[in-house]
Amino acid sequence: MKIVVIGGTGLIGSKLVNKLREGHEAVAASPNSGVNTVTGEGLAEVLKGASVVVDVSNSPSWEDAAVLKFFETSTRNLLTYGAAAGVGHHVALSVVGTQLLAESGYFRAKIAQEKLIKESTIPYSIVHATQFFEFLKGLADISTDGNKVRLPPVLFQPMAADDVASAVGSIAVGPPVNDTVEIGGPEQFRMDELVRRRLALLNDPHEVIADPNARYSGAKISDKTLVPGNNARLGETTFETWLAHSAGTGLAA
């Protein structure tokens, strides 16, 4: 089965392509390989003969207008070229709680992406993942205010990128669910607590403040916003195991 992975050079995409290659023809597509979903360059060629498209791309800019333009244009192109090529399953990676995060420019773009997929004629599976362990430092970066990091002390259930790639891979080779599937990590934490631990391990001097009014990517959140429901598929990798495995690989940075 030919499976085209849009964003196949990214954090999740590169892991996903390696896993899919055990048994399938997985093609990594990104601007580096001459495929640009925003301009349409290379899309018709790469989708020729593809049964499945997996979109694990991300916008280079998270500025409100730029990220909305990226996900709308890119998704529209992917669905149009995909339908023309006879693609039978469109899989996209999004985030647990996306529909509750419309105050955030980034999440308005993910909501727009999901809407286009649901309205298209191509059978689909949308995968809602929780935050990646690899993103904890990025989460601190987008929540930095001077020399302090302000985060709401809400529950969250992050997971290893490797487990995200495994789950997306198994959904991609299965039948389209025409619905959203949630995936998450095996443990719950308080957001400020885990980011504080992560920064300490990285010798990052920023102080992490638990602030109930602090926002996540611009949106007000509660204990339930980022936690998956009871039917979520949970990854096996705990934070401690991930730390032990990522030490020295550069991925822990």
Ligand X SMILES: NC(=O)c1ccc[n+]([C@@H]2O[C@H](COP(=O)([O-])OP(=O)(O)OC[C@H]3O[C@@H](n4cnc5c(N)ncnc54)[C@H](OP(=O)(O)O)[C@@H]3O)[C@@H](O)[C@H]2O)c1
**9 touching ligand X, by CB under 6 A:** yes
Q: Which listed range, 28-36, 79-87, 144-152, 213-221, lies at the site for ligand X (CB under 6 A)?
A: 28-36
The minimum distance between CB 49 and ligand X, in angstroms, equals: 19
The minimum distance between CB 119 and ligand X, in angstroms, equals: 19
Between 7 and 82, whose beta carbon lies closer to ligand X? 7
**154 touching ligand X, by CB under 6 A:** no
**57 touching ligand X, by CB under 6 A:** yes
Query: Which one among 1, 2, 36, 211 touches ligand X, defined by CB under 6 A?
Result: 36
Q: Give the orientation angle of helix 161-172 with respect to helix 11-20, to 10 degrees.
A: 50
Query: Which one among 31, 105, 186, 218 touches ligand X, defined by CB under 6 A?
Result: 31
**37 touching ligand X, by CB under 6 A:** yes
The minimum distance between CB 33 and ligand X, in angstroms, equals: 7
Q: Which residues bind ligand X (CB under 6 A)?
A: 6-7, 9-13, 30-32, 35-38, 56-58, 60, 93, 95, 110, 129, 131-132, 135
